[in-house]
Amino acid sequence: MEKVCVTGGAGFIGSNLVDRLVEKGFEVVIIDNLFTGKKENINKKAEFYKLDLRYDKEEIKKKLDGVKTIFHLAANPDVKSSSLNPKSQFDNNIVATYNILEIAKELGIKEFLFTSTSTVYGIARQIPTPEDYSPMLPISIYGASKLACEAMIIAYSYTYGIKSWIFRLANIIGRRATHGVLIDFIKKLRKNPNELEILGNGKQCKSYLYIEDCINAMLLAWKKANEQVNIFNIGNEDKIEVNEIAKIVCKELGLHPKFKYSSDEARGWVGDVPLMLLDITRIKKLGFKVRYNCKEAIKKAVIDCKN
């Protein structure tokens, strides 16, 4: 069996990726400090090591003997909180990425896959936004940290012969998610089923993709894209307003709360991008097909997350 490593393999996207890789017969090593990951997410057929990419570089090197490919998903993934603690983004995203790239270089690991984000584009003037959009001007600390990671990965690819795949993800939703608008709504409604606070004016309009579709796209690109650096948007083909999401969540939970808005602004928080839709033409040319549109994905994710 081919041996691969998934950093952040106890987290939301990482654990779903591990499950799929194990199902396909790969031998999987998980490196996770459980900063946001959970023990209950860990696939029992994978090797798990509670280690921290920020501090445990030499110990991690010992665990990656025989690994051919690194899927680097470990990060602080919360966009909303990134303005409150920029150092956490720097350490958990930029420093951690640098360290795992150094490990790949030193061990001769030649394949490196990375989950970036749509927020690297900032407030894009072109919607849908393609991978070659410029200039990329992220407005959140999270987006800035991911763009810095992209730059390092690209430089390591060309300098040290590491083939890389960079995935700029839309809002990924589904089982094991720990943050985002759906989780926010569900938590608020559990506390007060009679009122739902919506950040901003509720007119933010973005793309949401179900976790199953996300993993399908990542693995397809890994199999079929063979440039030295392969950059792909991964998202849905449509978008949906936050107000509509709130209605779907309430309907699925059987609730009829009053909606309360935090402001009249389009932006819900510092660093929020109120309009986002990615151009996924590039990944579709490889054969990718979205299975669930935004509304279908949200309904499935609410069912996943309310239990």
pTM across the whole model? 0.97
Question: In angstroms, what CA-CA distances link 52 with 27, 62, 65, 76, 117?
Answer: 21, 13, 17, 12, 22
**How confident is the model at residue 15, as a pLDDT?**
98
* One-letter-per-residue 3-state SS of 245-295: HHHHHHHHHCCCCEEEECCCCCCCCCCCCCEECECCHHHHCCCCCCCCCHH
Q: What is the pLDDT of residue 274?
A: 96
Q: Where are the beta strands (DSSP E) in the chain?
A: 3-7, 27-31, 47-49, 69-72, 111-117, 163-169, 171-173, 195-198, 205-206, 208-210, 229-234, 240-241, 258-261, 275-276
| C-beta of residue 29 within 8 angstroms of C-beta of residue 47 | yes
Q: Is residue 113 within 8 Å of 71, Cβ to Cβ?
A: yes
The whole-number pLDDT of residue 194 equals 98
Annotate 62-72 with b (16+ C-beta within 10 A) or e (fewer): ebbeebebbbb
Mean pLDDT of the chain: 96
| pLDDT value, residue 81 | 77
Given 98, 133, 142, 292, which residue is catalytic?
A: 142
Q: Which domains does the chain have, with CATH numbers?
A: 3-172+208-234 (3.40.50.720), 177-207+237-276+287-306 (3.90.25.10)
Contacts 24+ apart (CB under 8 A), 254-258: 255/189, 255/193, 257/189, 257/192, 257/193, 257/194, 257/195, 257/196, 258/194, 258/195, 258/196
Q: Name the CA dihedral angle for 79, 82, 84, 89, rounded to a multiple of 10 degrees.
A: 160
Give yes or no: 156 in active site: no
**How far apart (Å, rounded) are the C-alpha atoms in residues 41 and 175?**
10
Beta-bridge partners for 112: 70, 164
> What tens-digit pLDDT sequence spans the chain (307 residues)?
899 999 999 999 999 999 999 999 999 999 999 999 999 999 999 999 999 999 999 999 999 999 999 999 999 987 777 788 899 999 999 999 999 999 999 999 999 999 999 999 999 999 999 999 999 999 999 999 999 999 999 999 999 999 999 999 999 999 999 999 999 999 999 999 999 999 999 999 999 999 999 999 999 999 999 999 999 999 999 999 999 999 999 999 999 999 999 999 999 999 999 999 999 999 999 999 999 999 999 999 999 987 7
206: three-class secondary structure by DSSP: strand
Distance, in Å, from the CA atom of 77 to the CA atom of 177, rounded to the nearest integer, reads: 11
Describe the crossing of helices 181-191 and 294-306 by its angle, rounded to 10 degrees. 50
